[in-house]
Amino acid sequence: MEKRARVLIDCEDAKGLVYEISKVFYDRGLNIDNNREFVDKEYGRFFMRTVVSGLFDTQELLDTLKSVTPAAAHIRVIEPEDKKIILMVTKESHALGDILIRHADGELGAEIECVIGNHDTLEELVRRFDIPFFYIPADDMSREEHEEHVMKLINEFEFDYIVLAKYMRILTSTFVKSYTQKIINIHHSFLPAFIGANPYKQAYERGVKIIGATAHYVTDDLDEGPIIAQDVIPVNHRLTWRDMQRAGRDGEKIVLSRALSLVLNDRVFVNGNKTVIF
């Protein structure tokens, strides 16, 4: 039976890679529906995303591709299907609400396994969409104790990504390292500027002319993980920092949605502390 797959290759650059990889597809009679490639010349890394269709055995295709690429090549052959995500929230509803509506309309491209909140403020909203909501309060617990409860719950689910939809707590190194390149955050600032708390007030006090939003992978370095998507909104001296905050929330949900679409469609490669996006 004919099927499609996304072939993702990240490896050391070498002469003739595109030819060798394309020959693997040709020899199996596969059609190349879409292809993008990029070479990071500074670090000598090769990136390729190809969509193929035809008759093939996934494991055999993967093994053959490994045989024609450099050692330690990172290769994935992914047959497209909806991925699974877990959402983490605090009190702000705009990013969460946008994701819930996209999911209800069939536009998200993912199944939401559950929503986890460190407050119960958003439980009623989530329940309206028939999605499980789990409230894990952080009061009277250390950060480590709270995260132990959260991780225990998370690990009961099969999932591809954890999405911080305005989850307003700093995650510990233990948590982040447990889900490397699986945590996506939306930050209410045009990173790397104005990191940390209340960036809109920081931006207002600095007299900026643009504000923005940044979606990125979470790493141990606060708000400094590889950036997936960004956007900016023009502002001027007439706006208070709260006006900027209100305007920024629209930008946040749009940028997070854009980032999720890229990730869920396997268009993002992590390249050190940067990303390659096809």
| Domain's final residue, options 36, 60, 78 | 78
Among the listed residues 65, 124, 39, 57, the one whose alpha carbon sits nearest the alpha carbon of residue 89: 124
The pTM score is: 0.90
Q: What proportion of the chain, given as a percentage, has pLDDT over 70?
A: 96
Q: 67 with 102, same domain?
A: no
**What's the pLDDT score for residue 193?**
64
- What CA–CA distance (Å, rounded) separates 28 from 18? 16
Sheet harboring 110-117: ordered strands across? 133-135, 110-117, 83-89, 161-164, 183-187, 210-217, 227-234
**Bridge partner residues of 231 (DSSP):** 213
Q: 245 with 119, same domain?
A: yes
Do 11 and 76 contact (CB within 8 A), yes or no? no
| Domain's final residue, options 59, 78, 97 | 78
Tell me the CA end-to-end span of the chain in Å, nearest whole number.
28
**What's the pLDDT score for residue 246?**
82
Do 145 and 172 contact (CB within 8 A), yes or no? no
Residue 26 host element (H or E): helix 17-27
Q: Across residues 97-120, what is the average pLDDT?
A: 97
- Does residue 200 register a pLDDT over 70? no
- What CA–CA distance (Å, rounded) separates 87 from 99? 9
**What's the pLDDT score for residue 247?**
82
Q: 34 with 152, same domain?
A: no
- Does residue 121 register a pLDDT over 90? yes
Q: 47 with 179, same domain?
A: no
Residue 261 backbone dihedrals phi, psi, to 5 degrees: -60, -45
Identity at 244, one-letter amino acid code: M
Q: 42 with 158, same domain?
A: no
**Tens digits of residue pLDDT in 17-31:** 999 999 999 999 999
**Tens digits of residue pLDDT in 202-259:** 777 778 787 788 999 999 877 789 999 999 888 888 888 788 778 888 899 999 999 9
Least confident of 94-98, 156-160, 161-165, 231-235: 231-235
Give the alpha-carbon dihedral of 126, 128, 133, 136, to 10 degrees.
70
| Domain's final residue, options 58, 78, 98 | 78
DSSP letter (8 states) at residue 252: H
Domain that holds residue 252: 83-277
Residue 211 backbone dihedrals phi, psi, to 5 degrees: -120, 170
Q: 221 with 135, same domain?
A: yes
Handedness of CA 19, 21, 24, 27 (dihedral sign): negative
- Does residue 192 register a pLDDT over 60? no
When divided into structural domains, the chain yields a total of 2
Q: Give the rounded distance of the alpha carbon of 274 from its chain centre.
A: 13
**Could you give the residue numbers annotated as active site?**
223
**Tens digits of residue pLDDT in 44-93:** 999 999 999 999 999 999 999 999 999 999 999 999 999 999 999 999 99
**What's the pLDDT score for residue 123?**
98
